[in-house]
Every structure is written in structure tokens, then in C-alpha cells.
Amino acid sequence: MSTIGYSSWAVDLAEVGAIYPFQGSEVVMTIVAVVLWLAWHVVEIRGENAQLERLSDKSRVTDDDRRRSIERY
Amino acid sequence: MGNNLDAITTIFTEFYYWVTVVFMFLIHVGFCVYEVGASRRRNHMHTLMKNTMLIPLVTVTFFFFGWWIYWAFPNGPFIYKGLGLDFAAGAGNAPWSETMATNLSDRITGVFWAAFLLFSWTAASIVSGAVMERIRSGAFWIHAVLIGSVFWIIDASWGWHYDGWMVKLLGYHDAYASGVIHAIAGGYALGVLVVLGPRIGKFAMDGTPRDIPPHNPWFVTIGLFLIYTGFWGFYAACNVPLISPEGIGGQITGETWTATNIYLAPTSLGAITLNFLMSLSGGLMMAYIVSKGDAFWTYSGGLAGIITASAGNDLYHPIQAMLIGGVGAYCAYKLHFWVEKRFKIDDAVGAVAVHGYAGFIGLVIAGFVLWGAPSSPYEGYVAVNPLGQFLGAIIMFFVLGFLPAFIVSKILHGAGLLRIPPLVELEGLDYEEQHEYELALKEVMEAESASVGK
């Protein structure tokens, strides 16, 4: 029993193809990975929205602070 | 691998592409260094992360669907012979295919995929520099996925594939990607910039553009040097390193094995090495003169020189490559400032000019210089011609570059997701990180000072 389909390398390599674990679950793995990718964008945009809202609060810093930021170049 | 010759050819090809991928990584390192140098201090960490995170996002999406598009779309959808989608070729390159994984019966798909992927990063990275210091990172990453894993790879399938309809019907020839990478990415950047608008302070009240100098000019030049270095890998990656006439299966007779371009038409590494260096030199020389020795534009002109000559650098004479490189650098420099002033476009790094205009012009020039040359080793393909190249340049720059970028940017703008608020732009994207850095510095210095003399 082996997750990759081979439990020994006593084989003719000309007849060996895929050797990754859990062959047959490729479509499921793809669906999971695509969902994770899309979720990443959602989480990132939510986090960025919150950060930009925080930074856009005019009362947070004084005009002097802003000038200092600009002078940092 | 039936015999030892097959084995050596296969493993040589596998290693060849692997080396090109490592070299091409330097393009991205260069873009990151360059972009950080060109940005202002208060933005540089966000600028770096914006460009860095396109690596994983474009990589996974290129695995999910980009590579499948390349193999399925050469004639479609609905362009040539009905639906025109090649599902059989696409199947072996889908994310669930056994050959897109650890597989001892296919050693080439993985490295070939990676070589194309590095082109995808480059396409997205070209856009990244142009839009820096005011685009939201989240918006840029959506654009990065679209240019890197959708639009450039559609154009590659159409015009950078031995079976692409543009090659067959237009005689489109673009061996080292003047159009399929550079014109499309420049056009895409322009489409975003039109909607995004300029940085605060870029234009005076009367519309006169102001220079926004880089915070570190040395980084900018080192970055461009690194891009030059990675470009070598890019050129090599555009070739098939070793193939027999039988393997090509076209009109070539005899038994002489050869390197080919992506269309499987013969060329050699020697030829493209000569032409790469001569077009770089032509671009550098022209840009130095036209910019009056400005370092930024001299380096960028070198890049524009290579990009302009790239469409035909598999066939040009080195002196032709040099002259064409010079023409491209001149046009890119002049057009950048004309467009900036006339249309108030704030392209922070000149990417639209260096990649977009130079790429476009390079395609058109190739149509004249290579007029009548076979575009393919296969029978029935239209030969290279000026009209085909011009139409190809329009498709690359406007249809697959500018237009989708403009539409998607409008949608993002409408949703309030495209641009950072003006207050944040003034304070800088790194404001919070800088504030935390200063607090941490103060705290640790106070602690250290308190321990003096104890």
C-alpha cells in the first residue's frame, strides 16, 4: 500500500507515469485551490478597505504630521 | 524516452528551459529593485509588496487556467474553423491533468509551463511600475491576474504558437515577443492609467508635467541591469533548443536538427545573441543622445532597443537589429513625453513607452524588413507582411491590452476599489509601517539608553 501507487522502485521506468500521492483526486484538489485563491482576494480587499478607511480619518493626524510625511519624500 | 538519443534530447531540453527560468527570475528581481528605487520613500514597502505578490497570484492562476488557454485557444473562440477551441491539446495542460504534476513519462510540460509563467510575471510587472504610488494593491492584483493569466496568454495562443490563427492568416511574426509581451503590457498599462489618473502634484495647474524623481536613482539603474540580465533567459526561453525536421513535421527537408523559434521555424542561439547585444547597443546609444545623457532614459532606451528589434531578432542582421533598436529608443523617448504632456498621462516609469510603443513599432518594422519571409515551416501559412504585422500590433496593444484594462479599471473605479484616497496618497502608503518603525526604534533606544552605566 502506497499513496503514490508504487511501494518499490523495482519497475521499468518506461512504464512509469504519474508518481504523486492521491492520484484521482486532481479535480477536487483544483476546486479547493481555486476557492482558496478567490478567498485570498476577498480577505485581502476587506483588509485593505479597513486599512484605507482608518488612514483616511482626517482627525487621526494633524496637518503637521502630513507635512512630515511629505517631507520624508 | 525510447533510446539514449531521445533521453539526452529530452533531458537537455528539460535542463535548458529550467536554466532559462532561473535567469528570468532576475527580470522580476530587477523590476522590484527598479520600482522601489523609482518610488518615493513613503511608498516603497507597499510598492515592493505590490510587485512581489503578483508572483504567487499569477503563478497559481496560470496553473489553474492560463496554461490551458494557451493550448486550447490558438484558433478560437469562434475565429477560425467554427468554435476553434482545441480541447484535446488543452486537456493535457489542464490543472487536473496527470502531466501537470510529478510524472516520469513527461519531463517537459513542467519546465515549459514555468518558462511561459515567467513571461506572465513580466507582463504583469510591466504594468506594476506604471501605476505605482496611487493604485490600490488589491486592484493591481486583479489586473495582474488578468494580464498575466488571461490576456497575454490569449495573445500568445493566437500569435505565438505554431498553430496560432494570427500566424496562419496574417503571417504574424514576433519571435521574441515585441508584441505578445511588450505591446500588450504597455497597452494594458495605458488602459489602467487613463482611468486611474495622475499622482497628486504630477501636473501643474496649467497642465505642465512635473518630474517626480526616484528616491534612489542607483536602485533604478541596478534594477534595469538586472532586467537586461534576465532578458537573456527570456530570449533563450523563446526558442525550442533542439528538434529534428521529423519532429517539426513541416516542409523542412533533410535530417539536420536545429534550434527553432516558437513557430518551429529555424534559428540559432548565436543569431539571437548577436542581435540581442546589437539592439541593446543601438537603443543605449540613441537614448543617451536623445535624452542628453539622462541615466534613467539611457537604461530604458537600451531596453526599448531590444524590445523593438525582438519581433525579428531571429532573422535580422546584427546591424539591422542595432538600427531598429535605435529607432525604437528614439520613438519611445519622444512619444513618452508627448503623450504625457498632451493627454496628462502619468506613467511613473515610462513603461507604456518602453514596452508598449517600442513593441508596437517593432512589430510594424518587422513587417517591412522581413516582408515575404515564411512565418512558419508549415504549408499554407501567409508569409510575413506589413499589413499582417500592423493588424497584429493593433490586436496586441489595443484589443487585448488597452481595451480590457480600461473596462476592468472602470468597473473597479465604479466599485471604489481602484485608487487610494488622497489623504493616504499624501501621507504615503507606508504610513502605518513607518509609524510602527519609529515607535519601535524609540522604545528600544530608550531601553538601551536606560541600561547605560548600570
Total Cβ atoms within 10 A of residue B271: 18
Bond before B77 cis per omega within 30 degrees: yes
Report how far residue B359's alpha carbon sits from residue B306's, in angstroms, rounded to the nearest whole number.
Answer: 9
Q: Which residues 6+ apart lie within 8 Å of B349 measured at CB?
A: B34, B35, B38, B129, B130, B132, B300
* B246-305 pLDDT tens trace: 999 989 999 999 999 999 999 999 999 999 999 999 999 999 999 999 999 999 999 999
Q: pLDDT band for position B199 (50/70/90)? A: very high
State residue B81's pLDDT score: 79
Is it the case that residue B4 has pLDDT exceeding 90?
Answer: no
User: Which grid cell sits at B186?
Assistant: 504597455
State residue A56's pLDDT score: 86
| Preferred mutation among A3, A22, A42, A55 to probe B, highest tally of B CBs within 10 A | A55
The verdict on residue A59 lying in a domain is yes
Report how far residue B416's alpha carbon sits from residue B432's, in angstroms, rounded to the nearest whole number.
Answer: 22
State residue B227's pLDDT score: 97
How many domains is chain A built from? 1
CB within 8 Å of chain A, chain B residues 84-143: 95-98, 101-106, 136-138, 141-142
Q: What is the mean pLDDT of residues B437-448?
A: 91
**CATH numbers and ranges of domains, chain B:** 4-447 (1.10.3430.10)
Q: Say if residue B4 is exposed, middle or buried (CB neighbours under 10 Å; 0-12, 13-18, 19+).
A: exposed
User: For a pLDDT cut of 70, what percent of chain B falls above it?
Assistant: 100
State residue A2's pLDDT score: 94
State residue B84's pLDDT score: 83
* Residue A9 contacts B, CB cutoff 8 Å: no
* B57-77 pLDDT tens trace: 999 999 999 999 999 999 988
Is it the case that residue B452 has pLDDT exceeding 90?
Answer: no
Report how far residue B236's alpha carbon sits from residue B187's, in angstroms, rounded to the nearest whole number.
Answer: 25
Q: Which segment of A56-65, B34-43, B125-134, B427-436 scores lowest on mean pLDDT?
A: A56-65
Residue B122 amino acid letter: T
Residue of B61, B96, B105 lying closest to A17 (CB–CB): B105
Report how far residue B122's alpha carbon sits from residue B25's, in angstroms, rounded to the nearest whole number.
Answer: 9
Is it the case that residue B317 has pLDDT exceeding 90?
Answer: yes
Q: What is the mean pLDDT of chain B?
A: 95
If residue A28 lies in a helix (H) or strand (E), which one and from where to where?
helix A26-55
Report how far residue B402's alpha carbon sits from residue A10's, in angstroms, rounded to the nearest whole number.
Answer: 56
- Residues of B189-212 as b/e, b for ≥16 C-beta within 10 angstroms? bbbbbbbbebbeebbeeeeeeeeb
User: Rounded to a whole number, what is the largest CA-CA distance in chain B?
Assistant: 88
The verdict on residue A15 lying in a domain is no
User: For a pLDDT cut of 70, what percent of chain A falls above it?
Assistant: 100
Is it the case that residue B56 has pLDDT exceeding 70?
Answer: yes
The verdict on residue A13 lying in a domain is no
- For residues B301 and B282, the answer to whether their CB atoms sit within 8 Å is no
Is it the case that residue B400 has pLDDT exceeding 90?
Answer: yes
Residues of A in contact with B1 (CB under 8 A): 14
State residue B1's pLDDT score: 59
State residue B343's pLDDT score: 96
Full residue range of the structural domain in which residue A66 is found: 24-72
* Residue B225 contacts A, CB cutoff 8 Å: no
Q: What is the ipTM of this complex?
A: 0.93
State residue B2's pLDDT score: 63
For residue B96, the chain A residue with the least C-alpha distance is A26
The 3-state secondary structure of chain B reads CCCHHHHHHHHHHHHHHHHHHHHHHHHHHHHHHHHHHHCCHHHHHHHHHHHHCHHHHHHHHHHHHHHHHHHHCCCCCCCCCCCCCCHHHHHCCCCCCHHHCCECCCCCHHHHHHHHHHHHHHHHHHHHHHCCCCECHHHHHHHHHHHHHHHHHHHHHHHCCCCCHHHHHHCCCCCCCHHHHHHHHHHHHHHHHHHHCCCCCCECCCCCECCCCCCCHHHHHHHHHHHHHHHHHHHHHCCEEEECHHHHCCCCCCCCCEEECCCCCEECHHHHHHHHHHHHHHHHHHHHHHCCCCHHHHHHHHHHHHHHHHCCCCCCCHHHHHHHHHHHHHHHHHHHHHHHHHHCCCCCCCHHHHHHHHHHHHHHHHHHHCCCCCCCCCCCCCCCCHHHHHHHHHHHHHHHHHHHHHHHHHHHHHCCCCECCHHHHHHCCCHHHHHHHHHHHHHHHHHHHHHCCC
Q: What is the mean pLDDT of residues B216-238?
A: 95
The verdict on residue A9 lying in a domain is no
* B330-351 pLDDT tens trace: 999 999 999 999 999 999 999 9
State residue A66's pLDDT score: 79
Q: pLDDT band for position A59 (50/70/90)? A: confident
Q: What is the mean pLDDT of residues B108-121?
A: 97
State residue B433's pLDDT score: 86
State residue B324's pLDDT score: 98
Count of CA atoms in the C-beta half-sphere (13 A) of B398: 6
Total Cβ atoms within 10 A of residue B326: 25
How many residues belong to chain B? 454
Residue of B96, B101, B138 lying closest to A48 (CB–CB): B138
The verdict on residue A34 lying in a domain is yes
* Residue A56 contacts B, CB cutoff 8 Å: yes
The verdict on residue A51 lying in a domain is yes
Handedness of CA B129, B130, B136, B142 (dihedral sign): negative
Q: How far is B349 from chain A (nearest CA, A)?
A: 17
Q: Which residue has the higher pLDDT, B277 or A65?
A: B277
Residue of A18, A41, A48 lying closest to B98 (CB–CB): A18
Q: Which residues 6+ apart lie within 8 Å of B274 measured at CB?
A: B318, B321
The verdict on residue A45 lying in a domain is yes
The verdict on residue A12 lying in a domain is no
* Residue B427 contacts A, CB cutoff 8 Å: yes
* B150-194 pLDDT tens trace: 999 999 999 999 999 999 999 999 999 999 999 999 999 999 999
